[in-house]
Structure 1
Amino acid sequence: MGNGYTKNTSNNKCWHKFEEKLTSYTAGGNAIMAYCFLQLAIVETGAAFSPTFLVYCLLRFLAGLSTTAIMTNSTILIIEWTKPKFQVMGVTLSRFASGFGQILLGGLAFVIRDWCTLQLVFSIPVFFLLVLTRWLSESARWLIITNKPQKGLKELRRAAHMNGMKNSGVTLTVEFVTSTMKEELEAAQTKPSLAALFRNPHLRKRMFLLCFVRFSTWMSTFGLILHLQYLEMNIFLLHGLLGVLSLPANYVALFAMNWLGRRKGQLLFMSLVGISIFAIIFVPQEMQTLRMVLTVLGGGLPCAAATTSLCHANELLPTVIRATALGIIGIAGSIGGALAPLLMTLTTYSEPLPWIIYGVFAILSGLVVLLLPETRNEPLPDSIQDIEKEDKGSRQAKQEDTFIKVTQF
């Protein structure tokens, strides 16, 4: 299990290197998702008929590349189509779906022991998901900010009609949208490049801090998963249990984000992750039951931390370059995940040393989050200029009025 896991985490590092290209804001989320669903369906189905292990690894590599872009763009669409009060609920519901998927995977893998058949059971439904992307709305916010008001207006009218605005065709005009979002459109006249993420001091600070948080979160998470190989437990049952545990973990994350805020929520969860890792160090190998309980409980905490971190990162980044920024942050996370199994080589010098590193970085990431702004009930920044503004009162009132008024969310 250890060798297989090391291989997978190394592949994760490669997958995320391509994530920035797949989530480029120049193509649009819908086109990216349709392409990625098509690629995912083809390569996953082809993997079931792989003649050699090398071909199988190559196809799984392409599948992981597509999955990363699908997950990133799905979260962006949820965030950009939802008012601030319900953004975390939308993201958490998507994480609930991931938990149910993990439970389903464990159950079907227990029933269907033939890997080829199991592969087809999960790959064929992806073709139906590809068809559904035809009715998926592009982000109107992204379209307007990137100087495509006509397309953005079409999506706004569609959303307004779904929300009960029968006269949306009359009230929603290009003039209305451009006048209401005049400030945002003026700021978006200059398309930001990749270098803009690090040229602006305010955005650069956010990027470095978010990269460190994602790096530490994934390294600690994969460190806990590495510990599973030491547990004498049915792998199907364990996989199902982790999926089940992710459901209440995400609910707790939703509650914490709404009541404590994004920063305090991440501090709480990552501190508990670090404490769980330190506790495992002092539990003898013979006490398998206690080690299993600590590992499984610790496996739910990173799930809550990841949900909180995902929401916070999306809310801190401007619309014009959000996807690209998330791609870079994803690279930082994948480096942390790839580094986790490599740290296990330090056991030759000191057996608890890797676990100490996992725990320290988990607690550090929780503390670093406190250096980032709180985003609870705050409007999404649309441009880099929004990041620079210290007084968000006028922008919040205007943006919320625009988004609610034109779509009736």
Structure 2
Amino acid sequence: MGFDVLLDQAGSLGRFQILQIAFLFVTSMITYPQALLENFTAAIPGHRCWVPLLDNHTTSGNDSDILSQDALLRVSIPLDANLRPEKCRRFTHPQWQLLHLNRTFPNVSESDTEPCVDGWVYDQSSFSSTIVTKWDLVCESQSQKSVVQTVFLSGSLLGSLIFGYLSDRRLVESARWLITTNHLVEGTKALRRVAHISGKKSAGEILTLEFVRSTMQEEMDKASTKPSVVEVFQAPKLRMRVFYLNFLRLGATVPFYGLILNLQELGSSIFMFQILFGAVPFISRCIILFIMKYMDRRKNQSLFFFLAGLCILANAFLSKEMQTLRVILATLGVGAISAALTAFSVHSVELIPTICRSTITGINNVFSRIGAVFAPLLMTLIVYSPHLPWIMYGVFCIFSGLIVFCLPETRNQPLPNTIQDVEKDTKDSRGIKNEDTSLKITQF
């Protein structure tokens, strides 16, 4: 009973709800791309050391006037293991003897080369300027790019804490909040407004002050005894649920942001990846909603977490020349994580008692933001091994796929209303009446 009855009278799914979803979609489309901008504003273009022979336009001489740019590059910049110009070192002095060699390259000692002491020259064909080119976040300073991303996402974490709290002042828009805080007149008006927008013309006569009060009396009584955060964590079983849910949210967010913030590490075309990483998660989220009707919550989450982890680990050790396979695995990985996150969002709500759901959900969202902050920090491990950050992202996914089985299954199970429901963890102890079962059982 309770608010569900009032919502049915006002229009449970009508024009009002459709408008809310539409406005929410617009705001999400504006805010979400801000994180993805890092792939473009922090892109690392091709680069090499600045050398006077090539880049000092005031230099003039027979050699530099006669020889081509390719020849000057060959005598100024050593080649890496793939026979491409080094990005972080240059010859101490021009190696003119290299011009007379045919397909043979002598071993160049470390003493013959030096770091890019005079700066770098960047390829501006794709990006005219990024924070990397502005602050020279390459070579020894490449890890600083991840630090910049961490600072940016830390601002998002701080903002969610501050403005999430401040936004509670706007809950007067919620009829349920108004009623449970004894603002019955305003709550009734809000319900009538919803009914009017949704085209429920007869609802005004039904949604009277007395009807609202009698229908919501039980919820109003429960709201007056809402448990504090301390009480939530004093309950052993609920405390463990919250612990596992927070770890799962962290474990899913870290690899998700690790993928979407490092598109350049996955392939040569970040523009193509951006399109794929936008379309595939949308499709996978729609598919998982269908799968959840037929598969248990824990099994589908574990399946997609394992799939994502295996895709990331396989991609970590593939050669960069295998572009097609790398694109397929990366796209499949981000789609699997998106599906797992969608299933998790349903499972987590079904595990939390109604009376403290908003509090625990808020804590869970904080761990999501912490995961987003932590994800770019793992990329600093690339100075030790180029595979290490991706191994960590894959391990997070696999651990999440195992941890989910520490939580109870909720598909077609009664939803807990109170902390006592969780602590007793039996269907009989929840006091669910037969006629009320349809409102308290998960439907898919």
Q: C-alpha deviations, 1:304-347, integer Å up to 9, x for none?
A: 22222223333433455444433321221222222223223334
RMSD: 3.4
1:6-45 map, 5 Å:
6-24=147-165, 27=168, 30=171
Q: What are the ranges of 5 or more consecutive residues in structure 2 without an aligned counterpart?
A: 1-42, 45-143
SS for the counterpart of 2:224 is coil
Structure 2 residue corresponding to 1:152, chosen from 187, 208, 227: 187
Match of 2:403 in 1: 368
Q: C-alpha deviations, 1:165-206, integer Å up to 9, x for none?
A: 543334334443444444333222124333344233343222
1:7-406 map, 5 Å:
7-24=148-165, 27=168, 30=171, 138-160=173-195, 165-376=200-411, 384=419, 387-388=422-423, 390=425, 391=427, 392=430, 394=432, 397-398=435-436
In proportion to residue count, which structure has more helix? 1
Count, aligned residues: 297
Matched letter for residue 364 of structure 1: F
Query: Is the CA contact 2:250–2:370 (under 8 Å) kept in the aligned structure 1?
Result: yes
Matched letter for residue 398 of structure 1: D
Provide the rounded CA distance (Å) in 1 between the counterparts of 2:161 and 2:231: 15
Query: Is the CA contact 1:25–1:324 (under 8 Å) kept in the aligned structure 2?
Result: no
Provide the rounded CA distance (Å) in 1 between the counterparts of 2:418 and 2:157: 25
Query: Is the CA contact 1:278–1:356 (under 8 Å) kept in the aligned structure 2?
Result: yes
Q: Report the identity percentage.
A: 44
Query: Is the CA contact 1:145–1:319 (under 8 Å) kept in the aligned structure 2?
Result: no
Query: Is the CA contact 1:274–1:362 (under 8 Å) kept in the aligned structure 2?
Result: yes
Provide the rounded CA distance (Å) in 2 between the counterparts of 1:29 and 1:204: 30
Matched letter for residue 154 of structure 2: K
Q: What are the ranges of 5 or more consecutive residues in structure 1 without an aligned counterpart?
A: 32-137, 403-409
Query: Is the CA contact 2:188–2:209 (under 8 Å) kept in the aligned structure 1?
Result: yes
Deviation of the 1:399 alpha carbon:
7.6
With over 3 angstroms needed to count, the CA separation of the structure-2 counterparts of 1:157 and 1:5, relative to structure 1, is: farther
Matched letter for residue 313 of structure 1: S
SS for the counterpart of 1:258 is coil
Provide the rounded CA distance (Å) in 1 between the counterparts of 2:240 and 2:290: 28
Q: C-alpha deviations, 1:42-70, integer Å up to 9, x for none?
A: xxxxxxxxxxxxxxxxxxxxxxxxxxxxx
Q: C-alpha deviations, 1:268-305, integer Å up to 9, x for none?
A: 21111111112113312221221122112212222222
Match of 1:39 in 2: none
Which structure's relative contact order is higher, taking Cα pairs within 8 Å and 6+ residues apart? 1
Provide the rounded CA distance (Å) in 2 between the counterparts of 1:263 and 1:233: 36
SS for the counterpart of 1:195 is helix
Provide the rounded CA distance (Å) in 1 between the counterparts of 2:232 and 2:372: 23
Deviation of the 1:158 alpha carbon:
3.8
